[in-house]
Each structure stands twice: as structure tokens, then as C-alpha cells.
């Protein structure tokens, strides 16, 4: 899973991010480019257009939902989306909140940008349990003229084997 979440696990409100962190966007692009991304419909619809060089697997309950783009596919369950990219060496779960909660038990790694603030939100990242994941890398980043909040790039690895190989 890959996400940016506040100290209170806030992800967004009204289908929008709560902050603008250019270096986080750059990290997201670097990590996800060339890999399939599983997301919910609302997350997909928050993009102005599909992100380049990435397959978008969009999960929705709406059986009539369609996307007319060669890099986008629609699925009606997490299991169906996972089966569609089972041959891929690395798959990213990119949100939103409900999708992260579905994937928590099967994710092997988490790339989390922990934003050092707490904000009101309507979408939240799952609570990370130290029984499930261990922090293997932490890179603090200060607030500056382009980043209103300080944040930390954190990489977590599942402690016990569960889930799929390299499902972030």
C-alpha cells in the first residue's frame, strides 16, 4: 500500500487530499510508475486523467461503471482486481480509505508518508499495528516554502508472511 496520512490517519475530505506535498507526489510517481495500481472509484475520479505508464485497476460496486481508456480496467471486488494482476511482480494499492482497509490484511509492505498534523477528514488510513508491520526505513522531511507540513517517508514490512508477494 502507498499513502500519505496525517497523524490521525486522515487521508482526505470530500474526495480531495488535505495537503499539497510536491516531494510526496514525486515519490509516488517514482515508486508506482511501471506497476499496476489498485484503487477505488472515488480515488480514480479524483485524478484529472489516468496517470501515465501505470495500469489502473478500479474497484466499484456499480456494475454499470465503465472507463474508456486503454490503461484502465474496472473490477467489482478486491479479489477480482488481485487475480487480474497476479502475474505482476509488484502491485500498489493506492486508496482510498475503504480500499486500504480491504487490503490491510494482505499487504506485504506499506510506503507511508506520515504528515505531521491532524486534520478533519472523511477518509482514513487503517491503524498500523506493530504486531503486523515493522518500520524498516524512516526519512524525516521538514516543512518549507513548498510543503506546509513536516512529514516523514516511512517504509513498513509485514512481520509474518501473509498476503501476496510484493503487494504494496
For the chain, which domains are there?
Answer: 2-158 (3.40.430.10)
User: How distant, in Å, are the alpha carbons of 54, 56, 77, 93 from that of 151?
Assistant: 26, 27, 32, 21
Sign of CA dihedral 44, 50, 20, 31: positive
Give the tens place of pLDDT for each residue, 76-110: 999 999 999 999 999 999 999 999 999 999 999 99
The DSSP line for 46-60 is: TSSSPPTTS-EEEE-
Give the tens place of pLDDT for each residue, 22-75: 999 999 999 999 999 999 999 999 999 999 999 999 999 999 999 999 999 999
| pTM over 0.85, yes/no | yes
The predicted structure's pLDDT at residue 168: 64
Amino acid at each position: 500500500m502507498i499513502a500519505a496520512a496525517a497523524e490521525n490517519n486522515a487521508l482526505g475530505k470530500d474526495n480531495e487530499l488535505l495537503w499539497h506535498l510536491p516531494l510526496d507526489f514525486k515519490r509516488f510517481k517514482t515508486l508506482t510508475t511501471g506497476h499496476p495500481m489498485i484503487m477505488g472509484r472515488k480515488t480514480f475520479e479524483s485524478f484529472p486523467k489516468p496517470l501515465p505508464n501505470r495500469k489502473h485497476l478500479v474497484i466499484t460496486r456499480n456494475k454499470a461503471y465503465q472507463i474508456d481508456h486503454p490503461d484502465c480496467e474496472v473490477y467489482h471486488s478486491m479479489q477480482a482486481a488481485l487475480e487480474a494482476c497476479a502475474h505482476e511482480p509488484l502491485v500498489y494499492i493506492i486508496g482510498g480509505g475503504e480500499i486500504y482497509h480491504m487490503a490491510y490484511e494482505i499487504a506485504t509492505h506499506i510506503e507511508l508518508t506520515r504528515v505531521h498534523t491532524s486534520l478533519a477528514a472523511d477518509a482514513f488510513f487503517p491503524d498500523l499495528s506493530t504486531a503486523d508491520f515493522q518500520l524498516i526505513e524512516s526519512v524525516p522531511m521538514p516543512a518549507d516554502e513548498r510543503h506546509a507540513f513536516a512529514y516523514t517517508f516511512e517504509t513498513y514490512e509485514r512481520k509474518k508472511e501473509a498476503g501476496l508477494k510484493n503487494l504494496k
